[in-house]
């Protein structure tokens, strides 16, 4: 049986080009919907924290558990497509995704909200790899660069619309509306997919290695729970964290042993025999670590340190998405250049942006944060397309669907791990900085004898002590964020040796 998308790739004429354009537009719209959830909750995290009386690391589960669920389910995308077909996978996932978004809006507790966010991430997980595979199958290989750049616009417009509109709605109404606004986009995506997406021929038998999948899922969950709970539980001083480490380590060992010895493993090791794919996956993991971390850290910093309202925070986060969108538009032309050059430029933008954010002070102005956040988004846009081109340039066609799942899995896992570690850095350095400052609050400190130095602070009155405590807390939180941004810059530096070993030969028509 002939694969209609393969047939389309070799077709000529206006009808074939129209069909390609329609598929690309539909997949871009679906990617836009999925990308909205990556940042839609970030702008309202401080408001959710107040509603549920949660700590900063507890409310961060709204973001990290969604990413973890996405990471766990993403590698199943290939099996789901083979078993049910692209059309049914996309339609069913879109419907369930919309219902989960509605559940997030009506949640009455933090645990309930996290549960619906897990469902939202799980049902949204197949959307990105499946639509990316459709786009790649619909266009010849030499046109993958512009096609992926256009498809990627959905991934970058989502982070523009979600925090901007979401911040406005949460300020006018409440945080629940950041999830309600997803519903009309979900309905539109279902209608478009129903009309435009057709199933491709499936000649491969549907098979899923449940043993490998469960082992990987357990390893991921133990890792994420350990990272999220580590700072509050005092890391390996806690039997809980030790249990997570032992269970996760055993599950990871079992997973690796299983895929190396099984005849039909969940993840075929042969995938990584392709040099570019293996290097591309490492770079993708680093890219995932850098992608969403600033979007998670900045709302809390702007709210708790700068005192800005949700509307302003949403506009500021939207600048990051605008930078990414501009870079993606440029990539329609720049994709013809050597991807190694684009990778260097993209990671350099990330590093410069992180360094500039690490130079911020407690008195944050919007201008101080606007350019580095825009630059970080611009770097994301420069990285996405060359990472895709390098990773799949030499990969055999039979590995494309599976490789796409691994690509998005590692990107999401990198994000969840780095966000958890960054929040741990913020909390740990906040405590350390606060302890250092309190050691200076003593009658023997000569600064307290200088009225022009201490201002309204005083160690002799309750009001003065309260004002001093509030300011020291604000300064300590800011020091924690600064150290987290230095950690961000250090992560960028890890990409340098990997880019050096990438090989690139421009694909032929």
What are the domain boundaries of the chain?
4-208+266-434+475-500
Which listed CATH number (3.50.50.60, 2.60.120.10, 1.20.1250.20, 2.30.110.20) goes with 4-208+266-434+475-500?
1.20.1250.20
* C-alpha of 212 from chain center: 24
Decide: pTM greater than 0.85.
no
Mean pLDDT (the chain) is 81
| pLDDT at position 264 over 80 | no
Distance between CA atoms of residues 466 and 202, nearest Å:
68
* pLDDT 10s digits, 188-246: 989 888 888 776 655 555 567 788 888 888 888 888 888 877 877 778 888 888 998 99
Q: What 3-state class would DSSP assign to 41?
A: coil
- Out of 61-75, 121-135, 173-187, 357-371, pick the least confident: 61-75
- CA torsion, ordered 55, 60, 61, 62, to nearest 10 deg: 110
| pLDDT at position 2 over 60 | no
| pLDDT at position 143 over 80 | no
Q: Report the 3 state secondary structure along 154-186.
A: HHHHHHHHHHHHHHHHHHHCCCCHHHHCHHHHH
Q: Report the 3 state secondary structure along 316-364.
A: HHHHHHHHHHHHHHHHHHHCCCCHHHHHHHHHHHHHHHHHHHHCCCCCC
- 59: its two tokens: 């409310």
Q: Kindly tell me the burial class for residue 394, based on how many C-beta atoms sit within 10 Å of its own C-beta (0-12, 13-18, 19 or more).
A: middle
- 116: its two tokens: 């619906």
Distance between CA atoms of residues 166 and 15, nearest Å:
39
Report which listed range, 104-108, 323-327, 366-370, 461-465, is most confident. Answer: 104-108
| Percentage of residues of the chain with pLDDT beyond 90 | 16
- 423: its two tokens: 């929040």
* pLDDT 10s digits, 88-133: 889 999 999 999 999 998 988 888 999 999 999 889 888 888 888 7
* pLDDT 10s digits, 16-32: 778 778 888 888 888 88
């Amino acid at each position: 049986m002939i694969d209609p998308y393969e047939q389309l790739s070799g077709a000529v004429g206006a009808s074939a080009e129209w069909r390609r354009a329609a598929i690309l537009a539909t997949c871009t719209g679906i990617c836009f919907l999925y990308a909205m959830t990556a940042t839609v909750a970030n702008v309202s995290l401080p408001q959710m924290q107040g509603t549920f009386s949660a700590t900063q690391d507890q409310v961060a589960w709204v973001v990290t558990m969604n990413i973890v669920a996405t990471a766990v389910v993403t590698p199943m995308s290939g099996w789901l497509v083979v078993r049910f077909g692209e059309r049914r996978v996309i339609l069913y996932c879109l419907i369930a995704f919309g219902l989960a978004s509605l559940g997030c809006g009506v949640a009455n507790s933090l645990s309930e909200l996290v549960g619906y966010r897990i469902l939202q991430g799980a049902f949204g997980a197949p959307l990105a790899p499946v639509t990316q595979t459709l786009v790649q199958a619909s266009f010849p290989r030499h046109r993958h660069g512009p096609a992926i750049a256009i498809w990627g616009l959905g991934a970058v417009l989502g982070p523009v619309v979600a925090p901007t509109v979401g911040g406005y709605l949460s300020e006018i109404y409440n945080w629940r509306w950041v999830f309600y606004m997803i519903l009309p986009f979900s309905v539109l995506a279902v209608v478009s997919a129903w009309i435009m997406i057709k199933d491709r021929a499936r000649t491969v038998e549907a098979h899923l290695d449940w043993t490998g999948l469960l082992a990987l899922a357990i390893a991921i969950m133990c890792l994420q729970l350990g990272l999220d709970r580590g700072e509050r539980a005092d890391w390996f001083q806690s039997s809980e964290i030790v249990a997570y480490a032992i269970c996760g380590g055993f599950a990871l060992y079992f997973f690796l042993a299983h895929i190396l010895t099984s005849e039909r493993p969940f993840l075929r090791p042969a995938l990584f025999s392709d040099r570019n794919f293996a290097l591309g996956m490492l770079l993708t993991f680093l890219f995932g670590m850098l992608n969403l971390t600033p979007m998670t850290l900045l709302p809390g910093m702007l709210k708790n340190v700068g005192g800005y309202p949700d509307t302003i925070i949403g506009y500021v986060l939207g600048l990051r998405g605008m930078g990414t969108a501009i870079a993606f538009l440029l990539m329609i032309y720049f994709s013809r250049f050597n991807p190694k050059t684009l990778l260097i430029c993209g990671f350099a933008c990330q590093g410069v942006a992180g360094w500039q954010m690490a130079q911020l002070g407690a008195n944050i102005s919007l201008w101080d944060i606007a350019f580095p956040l825009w630059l970080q988004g611009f770097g994301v846009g420069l990285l996405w397309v060359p990472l895709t081109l390098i990773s799949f340039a030499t990969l055999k066609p039979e590995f494309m669907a599976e490789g796409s799942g691994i690509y998005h899995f590692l990107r999401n896992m990198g994000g969840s791990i780095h966000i958890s570690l960054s929040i741990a850095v913020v909390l740990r350095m906040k405590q350390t900085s606060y302890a250092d400052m309190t050691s200076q609050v003593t009658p023997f400190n000569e600064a307290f004898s200088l009225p022009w130095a201490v201002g309204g602070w005083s160690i002799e009155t309750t009001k003065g002590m309260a004002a001093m405590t509030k300011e020291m807390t604000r300064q300590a939180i800011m020091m924690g964020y600064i150290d987290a941004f230095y950690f961000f810059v250090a992560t960028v530096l890890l990409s340098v040796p990997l880019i050096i070993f990438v090989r690139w030969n421009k694909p032929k028509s």
